[in-house]
Amino acid sequence: MQYPEPIARLIASYMNLPGIGQKTATRLAFYTIDMKDEAVNDFAKSLLSVKRDLTYCSVCGNITEDDPCEICADTTRDHSIILVVEEPKDVMALEKMKEYQGLYHVLHGVLSPMEGTGPEDINIPSLIKRLENEEVKEVVIATNASTEGEATAMYLSRLIKPAGIKVTRLAHGLSVGSDIEYADEVTLSKAVEGRTEI
């Protein structure tokens, strides 16, 4: 027996989310059917709002409602240091520790020749442009400790160092293969404190 078309479409929509398989998508679809109309409407409005009301900061590439984002617009932050991360969720993870007071730059990915992702496919050109226009003395590379993250860090280091800017890497308080967003504040704090030049 096949599901009615609206349920089948909803299941397929849930399956488009990362980590959601057939069983979980079906469970979520039937949970959605049992939700009150108001809750479903609020959920739908939240989905639409995320797509309609958010944009990427024209300076750093972070997700924001206002352009530039509040971090880039904050004059009290240290504008001489830029911490480079893979994704906007990494900015949120680092901001939780409340110790880093510099700026960020979001790459929106990493270099991955196997997947056909080159320097022009991620947010590297705007980083280089920022380094020409701002008084940046240090770039901290905080890509994940994966093969692609390490390759991206080495590529950025070779690209930035000739400009006379200090390039550092987060200390490996983060375990190899882990993602920044899942690390606790103490681990992140130690990783930032123990960064080393590459």
Is residue 84 located within the same domain as residue 44?
A: no
- Asked if 172 contacts 191 with a C-beta cutoff of 8 angstroms, the reply is yes
The pLDDT, as a whole number, for residue 62 is 97
Mean pLDDT is lowest, of 28-32, 39-43, 187-191, for 187-191
pLDDT of residue 80: 94
d(CA 108, CA 123): 6
Mark whether 97 and 175 lie in a shared domain: yes
Helix/strand/coil for 13:
helix
Most distant CA atoms of the chain, gap in Å: 67
| Helix/strand/coil for 174 | coil
Q: Are residues 43 and 72 in the same domain?
A: no
Q: Are residues 11 and 73 in the same domain?
A: no
* In the predicted structure, residue 2 carries a pLDDT above the cut 70: yes
pTM for this prediction: 0.79
The residue segments making up the domain with residue 151 are 63-197
Q: What is the pLDDT of residues 153-183, one digit of tens each?
A: 999 999 999 989 999 988 766 676 778 888 8
The answer to whether position 44 is within a domain reads: yes
Lowest mean pLDDT among 5-14, 85-94, 115-124, 172-181: 172-181
Same domain, 49 and 127: no
> Based on the domain organization, do 46 and 138 belong to the same domain?
no
pLDDT score at 133: 74
Same domain, 41 and 71: no
- Number of domain units in the chain: 2
Query: H-helix or E-strand containing 64?
Result: strand 63-64
Residue 133 shares a structural domain with residue 38: no
- What does each C-alpha distance from 170 to 10, 142, 176 come to in angstroms? 41, 6, 12
CATH number of the domain to which 95 belongs: 3.40.1360.10
